A and B are shown apart, each in its own frame.
Chain A
Amino acid sequence: MIEEALLKSNYIGKDGFHWWIGQVANQNSWKSKSQFSEEKGSDGKVWAARCKVRIVGHHTFDGNVLPDDDLPWAQIMMDPAFGSGQGGMGATINLKGGETCFGFFIDGDDAQQPVVIGLLHRSDGVKNLISEESIAKEKSSQFKPFTGHPGNNIPATQRSARKRKSITPENPQTETSPLSTKDKVDLAFNSNVGFYTGTTRVFPQYGDRLQFDAASIWQVAKKADIEITIPNGCQNGLIGDISQALQSFMAITNGLDQYLNVYVDAVLNEIVDIQNQIRNTARSILGIVKLIINNLRNTIFKCITWAFRKLVGLVVPQPQQKIVLESMKKILDVIFCILEKLPSSLLNFITDALSDLVNRTVNVPLCAAEEWTAGILAKLMDSIENALSGIMSGISWLTGGLGTISGILNQASSLASQIFSFLECTGLACKKPYTWAAKFGPSEKEADDWKKMVSSVNVFKTAANAGSSIENALRDTSLYSAVDTFGSGFGGLIDRALSNISCSSKVLNPTNQDDLMRMPIGSRWKTCIPPQVYITGDGVGAKAIPIVGDNGRIFSVQIINRGVGYQNGTTDVRIVDKSNYGLGATARIEVDEKDGGINRIVILNSGDGYCKGNIGLGTNVVGGLGTNVVGGLGTNVVGGLGTNSSGISSSITGIVTDIVVDKPGYGYTTGDKITDGKNTYEPIVSPGSGAIVDVKIPTNIIGGFKDIPILTINTNTGVGAELIPVMQFTPNYSSTTGIPAVSGIAVTSVIDCV
């Protein structure tokens, strides 16, 4: 000992310097006495940033010989960029236990004071080889990988721990529901549903904990996933507003798991007050109904005063006119009062109708929403007629009859705009009603078609007159009854009476995006439905289809019909997958200002996860592929590209037809070149700043791209330019038709279906 002491310098590095590799011990042995804990030392101060490490070659794996609790404390080297804690500067260390760490002994040969200076990365492929329970039992992790989350029960590298709970037979509501447990599971709540499948794709390079906590991004995104009805001041979209409110409500409930009458939002990780959701939605719908009542009331008043005016002016002698007019005023006051109080009596009806929908159905296509809305309005008409029947029958002899309330509903619909339009040139500029959703952007709605709605309302009234009630008739619409006749393709009586029998099958088995309502974030429809392109704007007739690549990304968008009347700035394009398989694709639309037609659609983000099928490709093909097809696919193919898109979309390839300058950059020169890996392009550079303002496309270019290529700019001076290639799908259908595919040198305008 004396010799050792004499020979040692007790100066770091001079008595030997020992590197080591080890594993951070299970946090149970150190975390409560480190900076991670709020537990304080005897001096009242928090512990330093430290942990315990089991070091290869120095410490045995056997916990009975050297338990975790007896491992040496290791200091942790701090990053000067963040600070040491002095002066309040620094960052908390982020160790969980189980990390493979690298360091040295600050006390040289004594090897009692390790310092952790870094960690070796752990990829998603590293599996856990020992459980937290085993570590506690063995008192050592034995250098094996483990989760680092004691008590959290989160298996590393697997997302299944937080999969959403399925409806179970123990659920009492399931037993009374027309849907069997299997149906429900198949419809939306199966084990494949959940946001974790999504994040697996997003964060493949990180461990399970990162994937787990990525949920907070989903939570924020889901909370911000709002949908708003935009009032245009003209009240010409009230029917659509009710349908929209219903669909928004169902979108919320679709994201919930129900068990023992408790509703859980698995994404937000919270229990949802479903009654509050129902109340709020009923309140919203009632607000829209109130506007309809107001319009209706105005029309009723208009009719009654008109009738009295004719009666009094032409029939009633002058001495009695004042008395009759006073009576009319009192009648109108009573009607005003009755209609003012009416909405509150409808609240329970709407609340019950909504309550019955919860957990009953998942998909609410527009046709079903309109059926439901007709039922609500039928109840409204019924309530108004009942409330006013005495008064109306009392005055009908006097006025010559005013007809039924629902009969004048059609007139009431236009009154809201008329009331602002005393003179034609001063009316409100009533634009088409639309909604805006965070997930899908603006969506145009059809303006109210009251003639059609009155017809639907009359179907309900006929059913009610035949002995059923409006309530029962409403339960006979496709939303409630389709599930009873699963597989038959027919809905209930109301469904059939509305000649809307296909609506029931849409509820259960949507085949395209139009049949499907939006699934909430964190849920998917049971099957992937190919995406669709929606073009909104002032024009009409534009139609385009997305081409999904073999890799599930949007390859290009083919314009089928350019439409007319569109303008840049008011035209929008969206690539929509309401089934929630495909995510993230965005595009930009460009309009030819000369003729108002769509010029092209540029993919800004290809997204991921879309399924092929390419709705629109397989329909209305005349002559198949081999007949009348000139120069590829385009000339005589009507409205589509191929039968069921097989062959055509089985292997997506294409060419670059144009390059859009997204950011011009600066410092480029005319000698710079752009390449996509197969072709070389020449940028057009501004002489001043050296910005790329355009790109020349050569006459003959080589195609065969299976994905949108990454463009590389070969330059020694330029920076900052971002270029987007515009792709053109060039079908290769030789596999199914025997016709040689167009490959190699391709032309840039193959498809001409306009």
Chain B
Amino acid sequence: MTTPDPHLRQTDHFIEACGVESPHNGKIDYSCTTKKGQGFIYYENGDLDIVADKTSKEVVGRKITNEQEPAKIIRAENGGIILSAPYGTVTIVAANIRFVAVDGVGGGEITFQASKIVHLDAPTVTGQGTNVTTAASNNASVTGGTASVSGNTQAEVQSGIDSDKSSVLGKILDAITRFKKFFASICSD
């Protein structure tokens, strides 16, 4: 393991550093920081800090003519990607937006969580799955100019109260069935 000498270059406006110890994250591989406290730090351990005190703008793809050519790729070879704006709004605007979760081991999940509302608004809203469940602890409503509920083999609309009642009725029918079987067994003898 060789340990190169640290290197510093400084002007009134910026400082470049290589091989010096950082405040908290091991040695600096290369950094360029300004007197305003902006800049970037590459660490020897592979981390990178980039700091801009206000808006960071990045414009790419002006010369892309093929729609299939990506203008921007952010790839995490390992680990995840986090977009965090705790006091702001994350806005994604594009011609098309797709969320795809492909992990075949234990993942493959897409979740949307909100403390107030999740709102979908489009001329056509579809959902498709092997099992689809919509549940509400208070009120669930399906409304439309026309509304239809259909099932290939069975369609059922039932309230909890009816279910309770039907379960009582079911118990009675079950008892009758067993009663009939009992008499049938006697008669067959």
Name A's B-contacting residues (CB within 8 A): 92, 94, 195, 198, 201-203, 206, 209-210, 213-226, 228, 230-231, 233, 235, 268-269, 280, 283-284, 287, 290-291, 294, 297-299, 301-302, 305, 309-310, 312-314, 321, 329, 332-333, 336, 419-420, 422-423, 426, 428-429, 436, 438-439, 521-522, 569, 580, 583-586, 604-605, 607-608, 662, 710-711, 722-725
Q: How far is the CB of A355 from chain B (nearest CB, A)?
A: 18
| In-complex Cβ contact of A710 among B1, B39, B109 (8 A) | B1
Q: Report chain B residues within 8 Å CB of A336.
A: 138
Q: Known interface pairs A198-B23, A216-B15, A429-B106. Does A233 touch B161 (Cβ–Cβ under 8 Å)? A: no
Q: How far is the CB of B79 from chain A (nearest CB, A)?
A: 10
Looking at B14, B21, B38, B135, which has the most chain A CB atoms within 10 Å of its CB?
Answer: B21
Chain A residue at minimal CB-CB distance from B45: A586
| In-complex Cβ contact of A216 among B21, B39, B137 (8 A) | B39
Q: How many residues of B contact A (CB 8 A)?
A: 60
Q: Report chain B residues within 8 Å CB of A299.
A: 137
Please, what's the 1-or-0 string for B13-35, where 1 marks a CB less than 8 Å from any CB in chain A?
01101001111111110010111
Q: Known interface pairs A228-B84, A233-B109, A521-B24. Does A219 touch B37 (Cβ–Cβ under 8 Å)? A: yes
Contact indicator B49/A233 (Cβ below 8 Å): no
Q: Report chain B residues within 8 Å CB of A222.
A: 23
Chain A residue at minimal CB-CB distance from B22: A221
Q: Known interface pairs A220-B51, A313-B164. Does A422 touch B23 (Cβ–Cβ under 8 Å)? A: no
Contacting chain A: which of B3-11, B120-128, B149-157, B174-182?
B3-11
Q: Give 14 new A-B contacts, CB below 8 A, not counting A299-B137, A711-B1.
A: A216-B36, A217-B15, A220-B37, A221-B41, A233-B113, A287-B115, A309-B160, A309-B161, A332-B138, A422-B135, A429-B109, A583-B22, A584-B25, A584-B26
Contact indicator B161/A321 (Cβ below 8 Å): yes
Contact indicator B25/A439 (Cβ below 8 Å): yes
Of the A-B pairs whose beta carbons lie under 8 Å apart in the complex, a sample of 18, sorted by A's number, is A94-B11, A209-B10, A216-B34, A216-B35, A218-B23, A220-B33, A220-B37, A220-B38, A224-B51, A233-B109, A269-B37, A280-B87, A309-B160, A333-B138, A429-B107, A569-B78, A710-B3, A725-B1
Give Cα distance in the complex from A291 to B114, angstroms: 8
Contact indicator A206/B51 (Cβ below 8 Å): no
Q: Report chain B residues within 8 Å CB of A213.
A: 10, 15, 35
Contact indicator A313/B161 (Cβ below 8 Å): yes
Contact indicator B133/A217 (Cβ below 8 Å): no
| In-complex Cβ contact of A228 among B12, B40, B82, B111 (8 A) | B82
Q: Does B65 contact A (CB under 8 A)?
A: no
Contact indicator A583/B21 (Cβ below 8 Å): yes
| In-complex Cβ contact of B1 among A231, A287, A321, A723 (8 A) | A723
Give Cα distance in the complex from A268 to B138, angstroms: 50
Contact indicator A202/B33 (Cβ below 8 Å): no
| In-complex Cβ contact of B37 among A223, A429, A439 (8 A) | A223
Give Cα distance in the complex from A79 to B27, angstroms: 30
Q: Known interface pairs A219-B37, A283-B87, A313-B160. Does A210 touch B26 (Cβ–Cβ under 8 Å)? A: no
Q: Report chain B residues within 8 Å CB of A321.
A: 161
Contact indicator B41/A583 (Cβ below 8 Å): no
Give Cα distance in the complex from A338 to B150, angstroms: 37
Give Cα distance in the complex from A522 to B24, angstroms: 10
Q: Known interface pairs A94-B11, A235-B113. Does A221 touch B23 (Cβ–Cβ under 8 Å)? A: yes
Contact indicator B24/A210 (Cβ below 8 Å): no
Q: Report chain B residues within 8 Å CB of A283.
A: 87
Chain A residue at minimal CB-CB distance from B162: A313
Q: How far is the CB of A42 from chain B (nearest CB, A)?
A: 26
Chain A residue at minimal CB-CB distance from B78: A569
Give Cα distance in the complex from A269 to B35, angstroms: 10
Q: Report chain B residues within 8 Å CB of A216.
A: 14-15, 33-37, 39
Instruction: Give the top 5 A-B pairs by smallest Cβ distance, nearest first.
Output: A219-B37, A224-B49, A313-B161, A298-B137, A216-B33
Q: Known interface pairs A217-B17, A217-B41, A309-B164. Does A195 touch B115 (Cβ–Cβ under 8 Å)? A: no
Q: Known interface pairs A203-B20, A213-B15, A605-B27. Does A220 touch B41 (Cβ–Cβ under 8 Å)? A: yes
Q: In chain B between 88 and 141, which residues have their CB closer than 8 angstroms to a CB of chain A?
A: 106-107, 109, 111, 113, 115-116, 131, 133, 135, 137-139
Give Cα distance in the complex from A225 to B37, angstroms: 13
Give Cα distance in the complex from A213 to B24, angstroms: 17
Give Cα distance in the complex from A216 to B86, angstroms: 26
Give Cα distance in the complex from A309 to B6, angstroms: 75
Contact indicator B115/A290 (Cβ below 8 Å): yes
Contact indicator A428/B137 (Cβ below 8 Å): no
Q: Report chain B residues within 8 Å CB of A314.
A: 164
Give Cα distance in the complex from A321 to B17, angstroms: 78
Give Cα distance in the complex from A723 to B78, angstroms: 24
Contact indicator A584/B27 (Cβ below 8 Å): yes
Contact indicator B115/A294 (Cβ below 8 Å): yes
Chain A residue at minimal CB-CB distance from B48: A224
Contact indicator B107/A584 (Cβ below 8 Å): no
Q: In chain B between 39 and 85, which residues have their CB closer than 8 angstroms to a CB of chain A?
A: 39-41, 44-45, 47, 49-51, 53, 78, 80, 82, 84
| In-complex Cβ contact of B115 among A217, A291, A710 (8 A) | A291
Q: Report chain B residues within 8 Å CB of A291.
A: 113, 115
Q: Known interface pairs A309-B161, A521-B23, A583-B24. Does A428 touch B111 (Cβ–Cβ under 8 Å)? A: yes
Q: How far is the CB of A287 from chain B (nearest CB, A)?
A: 6
Q: How far is the CB of B19 from chain A (nearest CB, A)?
A: 10
Q: Report chain B residues within 8 Å CB of A429.
A: 106-107, 109
Looking at A221, A268, A312, which has the most chain B CB atoms within 10 Å of its CB?
Answer: A221
Q: How far is the CB of B13 from chain A (nearest CB, A)?
A: 9
Chain B residue at minimal CB-CB distance from A221: B23
Q: Does B165 contact A (CB under 8 A)?
A: yes
| In-complex Cβ contact of B20 among A202, A226, A231, A710 (8 A) | A202
Q: Report chain A residues within 8 Å CB of B161.
A: 309, 312-313, 321
Contact indicator B133/A422 (Cβ below 8 Å): yes
Q: Report chain B residues within 8 Å CB of A290.
A: 115-116
Q: How far is the CB of A425 from chain B (nearest CB, A)?
A: 10
Q: Does B143 contact A (CB under 8 A)?
A: no
Q: Report chain B residues within 8 Å CB of A298.
A: 137
Give Cα distance in the complex from A585 to B106, angstroms: 33
Q: Report chain B residues within 8 Å CB of A420.
A: 111
Contact indicator B49/A313 (Cβ below 8 Å): no
Q: How far is the CB of B43 from chain A (nearest CB, A)?
A: 9
Give Cα distance in the complex from A285 to B81, angstroms: 23
Q: How far is the CB of A415 from chain B (nearest CB, A)?
A: 8
Q: How far is the CB of A43 from chain B (nearest CB, A)?
A: 26
Q: How far is the CB of B121 from chain A (nearest CB, A)?
A: 21
Contact indicator B113/A201 (Cβ below 8 Å): no
Contact indicator A605/B33 (Cβ below 8 Å): no
Q: Report chain B residues within 8 Å CB of A294.
A: 115
